[in-house]
Amino acid sequence: MDITTLAAGLAMGLGAIGPGIGLGIGFSKAMEAIGRNPEASGTLFVPYILGLALTEAIGIYALVVSLIILFAA
């Protein structure tokens, strides 16, 4: 195993920790808010989906960086 494979693995592994935690916390808080106020579920839906999409995009950036490290270096 050479250093680029290790670097790509670390980039993807460490880059997935933040979005994973963020998705878990975001989903938890959204469900907690809907549980406390079920009438607000329509109001919470768009910001919730937008926040999850932006959080997921960071994980995709980590994947792109790891692929660049793996194949371009």
For position 6, what pLDDT does the model report? 92
C-beta separation of 40 from 34 below 8 A: yes
Model pTM above 0.95? no
List average pLDDT for each run of 10 residues in the chain, which is 73 residues long.
90 91 90 90 88 89 93 84
Closest CA to 11 of 71, 63, 54, 60: 63
Fold of 3-72: F1FO ATP Synthase (1.20.20)
Domain spans of the chain? 3-72
Q: Where are the beta strands (DSSP E) in the chain?
A: none
